[in-house]
Amino acid sequence: MTGETYSLPMVALRGLTILPEEVRHFDVSREKSLQAIEEAVKNGQKLFVSAQKDLEIEEPGAEDVYLVGCVVTIRQVVKLPKKMSRVLVSGEVRASLVRMDSETPYLQATVVELPDDEVVSGEREEDDPMNREAMIRGLQDVFKEYLLKNPKLSKELGMQVESIHDLKYLTDVIAANMPFSFEDAQELLEETNVMRRYELLVYKIVNEIQAQKVKEEIQSKVKERVDKNQREYILREELKVIREELGDDNTMSDADEFQQAADALKASKEVKEKLNKEIKRFRNSMNSPAETGVIRTYIETMLEMPWDKTCKEHKDIAFARQVLDEDHYGLEKVKERVLEYLAVRALTKKGEAPIICLVGPPGTGKTSIAKSLSRALKKPYVRISLGGVRDEAEIRGHRKTYVGAMPGRIANGMKQAGVKNPLMLLDEIDKVSNDYKGDTFSALLEVLDGEQNNKFVDHYLEVPMDLSEVLFITTANSLQTIPRPLLDRMEVIEVTSYTENEKLHIAQEHLIPKQIEKHGLKADQLTISKNAIWKMARNYTKEAGVRQLERKIGDICRKSAMEILEKKKKSIHVTERNMEHYLGKELYSYQMANEEDEVGIVRGLAWTSVGGDTLQIEVNMMPGEGEILLTGQLGDVMKESARTGISYIRSVSKEHDITDDFFKKHDIHIHIPEGAVPKDGPSAGITMATAIMSAVTGRKVRADLAMTGEITLRGRVLPIGGLKEKLLAAKNAGMKTVLVPAKNERDVEEISTEITKGLEIKFVTHMNEVLKEALV
Ligand code: ADP
């Protein structure tokens, strides 16, 4: 199907294709074009326009233009300066150049209209009205999406497009209004098939949208990057200003100060080199406040360490003795041992003398001895509590790479002391334990080992520190949990529990005056009678040392101070009778001897962390199948003692007229009541065996008799420890006779008569003797 053919003036367009339905203006300057327009205006305003293939050609002929162009109507011609005109045209219909009629004085061409190719067979999908509607909507939606991203295109256009229901017209309108390149427009112009033109258009618009999205993404990324740099720059500038405002603009001079201090520091070359390096890093880190902070802390710590600073060593043993005597009552042996140690230390080279370990129950003056020793030697005193330390890093420090890293306790202690030869008390060394985070003990070993500790390296400080001149003193409640290698480094000095008489003296001579002063009282304002002190020690406290006693005295002082102020009392006298007023009800009463002899109940003696205690062992026999039941506060060692006791008794059952199948037909139940303080240890062996024998034979046990001793399978009695505390407990409980292993005889001789007086101590070597004494 071909359209009308006619001859029209023609203009070749450069970089522009005009589509039907397009309204558009373009500028014309070429003489030929100007004349063609003039001619067209004269003859019905129609003009044929076609795009030039090569933009550079000045005088294009038929072969230099696209054959397919557009017939347009000229709407307006505006003359511009320099012989130029601006022409407003509207595209009418596609047309193809048939031939060039003339090329001068302007182009005149014969063209043939290209009608739209719309197949109306009804067989194709697009011809279905439903499909057409869907296609129209699809194109409208795509165009709307495009409009959203391109608000420059008018809103009216959107509305106009909404109202079009003809697919061909819609395609043309949208194509005419899209800002396509002239190549794209040319493609659309040449496509006479409406369906294909539709597809081409949708494809081009979607492409356009996609390209725009990519462009936006890139733009926003670029913007983000620019913003971030900008932000950092601004923040840094602000920081600078804030620093200036605060008068804190001295990061530079801090570094100089550090350098000065480092130069003046008395320390090894290694330390100084490390410091210089860090100061350099500090200078270079000024733009990163987090890093600056970390380095600053490190440098400050390093500068505070007593690398080569020492205090004078006082070696006056007589003065030391005087100080120790002044501060402590009793403890003769301990003081003597400490003074001996000082004498040896004064004579030997540093690092050779072993380390003192004061072992004993809490409150017996271990810390206090260390403190007065520091006074005696005029050395700075630092106490490092090791109780509960499980992590090696607590001793040796965290590596600097950790967030919030710190030096370990030893390095910290040295910093506190301020000299490299202080007295350092490592308190409760027996309470240290290992966990998965490394070996706490080996770290301690390194600290205490005279061969290694001149080069102790804290993980945080990273440079070796000399600990060889430190006077280490350690304390422990018991030696059991201290590993052997560590124990070997130490000279153990035992501090034992106090008797009531000693407690009385300590209270009168030390604790009471100390507490009175501490509470701002005067000596004549508060007096505490001797009996009151005794009562306090016996019924208000239960301990080997005097810590609780001191606290109770403190309580009395506080209450007295209040009464003196409030009730205007002149002075207060605390006696046994008005004690309750100051301390409330009695807290403890000793488990006294049973009134009567009984079957299956025996009084044993135990050593616990708070001193000695008596423990009553009960055994019951019941018909059964030979089971052994153990209940109460029994540790593993006690359980083994119980089994050993039973085996021994079974082995001697004939001698005691026990029938062969007795143990098969009876269950044995062993119980230890009253277990506030856990007790363990082998020393209840003979006690349990006696109780079992009593239960089995039905013979009663003496109520006023207590015993202690380990038992072997053959019934031999082995020696035990903690005799002093145990005898003390027996005496307090009102016992008359105590059975003690014969091997402990020498220990008894050392115990003061204050304790042994009134107690009948019988030495035993074998269970036979025990049973003879105990069973009635
Ligand atoms: P530990 O370190 O053995 O647990 P402390 O040294 O802390 O015990 O002693 C507790 C309190 O008892 C301290 O105030 C201490 O001065 C005092 N103290 C202990 N024993 C005596 C003593 N023999 N003479 C004077 N005061 C003592």
Q: What is the pLDDT of residues 415-438, one digit of tens each?
A: 999 998 899 999 999 888 776 656
What is the arithmetic mean of pLDDT over 239-251?
Answer: 70
Closest CA to 529 of 500, 550, 555, 508: 508
Q: Which fold has domain 598-774?
A: Ribosomal Protein S5; domain 2 (3.30.230)
pLDDT at position 123 over 80: no
Q: Return the C-alpha torsion angle 648, 653, 658, 662, nearest 10.
A: 50
Ranking 324-338, 360-374, 578-592, 667-681 by mean pLDDT, the lowest is 667-681
> Is the CB of residue 477 below 6 angstroms from any atom belonging to ligand 1?
no
Residue 40 corresponds to which tokens in the numbers above? 């067209």
pLDDT at position 201 over 70: yes
317-494 CATH, one of 3.50.50.60, 3.40.50.300, 3.40.50.850, 1.25.60.10: 3.40.50.300
Question: How far away, in angstroms, is 663 Cα from ligand 1 center?
Answer: 51
Angle between helices 182-190 and 194-245 (to 10 degrees): 160
What is the arithmetic mean of pLDDT over 253-282?
Answer: 87
> Is the CB of residue 366 below 6 angstroms from any atom belonging to ligand 1?
yes
Question: How far away, in angstroms, is 545 Cα from ligand 1 center?
Answer: 7
Which one is predicted more confidently, 731 or 404?
A: 731
Residue 315: the pLDDT is: 82
CATH code reported for the domain at 500-583: 1.10.8.60
119-251 CATH, one of 1.20.58.1480, 3.40.50.9100, 3.30.465.10, 3.90.1150.10: 1.20.58.1480
Rounded to whole angstroms, the Cα distance separating 468 from 456 reads: 9
- Residue nearest atom 27 in ligand 1 by C-alpha distance: 365
Query: Helix H segments across 498-629?
Result: 500-506, 512-518, 530-535, 547-566, 579-583
Q: What is the DSSP letter of 308?
A: S
- Residue nearest atom 10 in ligand 1 by C-alpha distance: 363
Rounded to whole angstroms, the Cα distance separating 83 from 30 reads: 9
Rounded to whole angstroms, the Cα distance separating 333 from 356 reads: 14
Rounded to whole angstroms, the Cα distance separating 131 from 432 reads: 86
Q: For a substitution probing ligand 1, which of 334, 364, 508, 536 has the most ligand atoms within 8 Å of its CB?
A: 364
Q: How far is CA 60 from the centre of its chain?
A: 83
- pLDDT single digits (tens) 88-112: 999 999 999 999 998 888 999 999 9
Residue 272 corresponds to which tokens in the numbers above? 């100084």
Q: What is the DSSP letter of 117?
A: B
Question: How far away, in angstroms, is 385 Cα from ligand 1 center?
Answer: 16
Which one is predicted more confidently, 379 or 285?
A: 379
> Is the CB of residue 331 below 6 angstroms from any atom belonging to ligand 1?
yes
Question: For 362-399, b where at least 16 C-beta lie within 10 A, e where not — what string?
Answer: bbbbbbbbbbbbbbbbebbbbbbebeebebbbbbbbbe
pLDDT at position 514 over 50: yes
Listed in order, strand segments (DSSP E) in 254-325 are none
Ranking 60-64, 285-289, 295-299, 729-733 by mean pLDDT, the lowest is 285-289
Which one is predicted more confidently, 228 or 584?
A: 584
Q: What is the DSSP letter of 499?
A: P
pLDDT at position 589 over 80: no
> Is the CB of residue 279 below 6 angstroms from any atom belonging to ligand 1?
no
pLDDT at position 75 over 80: yes
Residue 638: pLDDT band (50, 70, 90) is: confident
pTM above 0.85, yes or no: no
Question: Which residues does the annotation mark as catalytic?
Answer: 683, 726
Which one is predicted more confidently, 451 or 465?
A: 465
- pLDDT single digits (tens) 533-572: 988 988 888 888 899 999 999 999 999 998 888 888 888 8
Rounded to whole angstroms, the Cα distance separating 597 from 664 reads: 28
The helix/strand count (H/E) of the chain reads as: 28, 26
Question: How far away, in angstroms, is 363 Cα from ligand 1 center?
Answer: 5
Element (H, E) at 445: helix 440-448
Atom of ligand 1 nearest to the CA of 364: 3
The residue ranges of every structural domain in the chain are 5-113, 119-251, 254-304, 317-494, 500-583, 598-774
Radius of gyration of the chain (CA): 53
Residue 679: the pLDDT is: 64
Rounded to whole angstroms, the Cα distance separating 393 from 408 reads: 6
Q: For a substitution probing ligand 1, which of 428, 546, 551, 552 has the most ligand atoms within 8 Å of its CB?
A: 546
Q: Which CATH architecture has domain 5-113?
A: Roll (2.30)
Residue 121: pLDDT band (50, 70, 90) is: very low
> Is the CB of residue 550 below 6 angstroms from any atom belonging to ligand 1?
yes
Q: What is the DSSP letter of 109?
A: E
212 — phi, psi (to 5°)? Answer: -65, -40
Percentage of residues in the chain having pLDDT higher than 70 = 93
Which span out of 68-77, 115-124, 654-663 was modeled with the highest average pLDDT?
A: 68-77
pLDDT at position 346 over 60: yes
Rounded to whole angstroms, the Cα distance separating 167 from 120 reads: 14
Residue 225 corresponds to which tokens in the numbers above? 């990057």
pLDDT at position 682 over 80: no
The angle at the Cα of 71, spanning 68 to 74, to the nearest 5 degrees, equals 145
Rounded to whole angstroms, the Cα distance separating 502 from 311 reads: 36
The angle at the Cα of 774, spanning 770 to 776, to the nearest 5 degrees, equals 135
Closest CA to 613 of 552, 674, 670, 687: 674
Residue 518: pLDDT band (50, 70, 90) is: very high
pLDDT at position 63 over 70: yes
> Is the CB of residue 364 below 6 angstroms from any atom belonging to ligand 1?
yes
Rounded to whole angstroms, the Cα distance separating 301 from 408 reads: 12
500-583: same fold as 5-113?
A: no
pLDDT at position 251 over 60: no
Which one is predicted more confidently, 253 or 430?
A: 430
Residue 361: the pLDDT is: 87
Residue 708: pLDDT band (50, 70, 90) is: very high
* CB 763 within 8 Å of CB 741: yes
What is the arithmetic mean of pLDDT over 37-44?
Answer: 90
Residue type, 415: K
Q: Between β-strands 471-476 and 355-359, what pairing exists: parallel, antiparallel or unpaired?
A: parallel
- Residue nearest atom 21 in ligand 1 by C-alpha distance: 365
* CB 396 within 8 Å of CB 452: no
Sheet of strand 381-385: strand arrangement:
381-385, 423-427, 471-476, 355-359, 490-494
* CB 316 within 8 Å of CB 377: no
Residue 556: the pLDDT is: 93
Positive/negative CA dihedral, 184, 190, 194, 196: negative
Rounded to whole angstroms, the Cα distance separating 289 from 294 reads: 9
* CB 579 within 8 Å of CB 531: no
pLDDT at position 678 over 70: no
What's the mean pLDDT when you consider all of the chain? 86
* CB 549 within 8 Å of CB 542: no
Percentage of residues in the chain having pLDDT higher than 90 = 36
Residue 38: the pLDDT is: 92
Ranking 379-383, 611-615, 766-770 by mean pLDDT, the lowest is 611-615
Residues comprising the chain, all counted: 776
pLDDT at position 1 over 70: no
Closest CA to 541 of 487, 469, 589: 589
Residue 104: the pLDDT is: 84
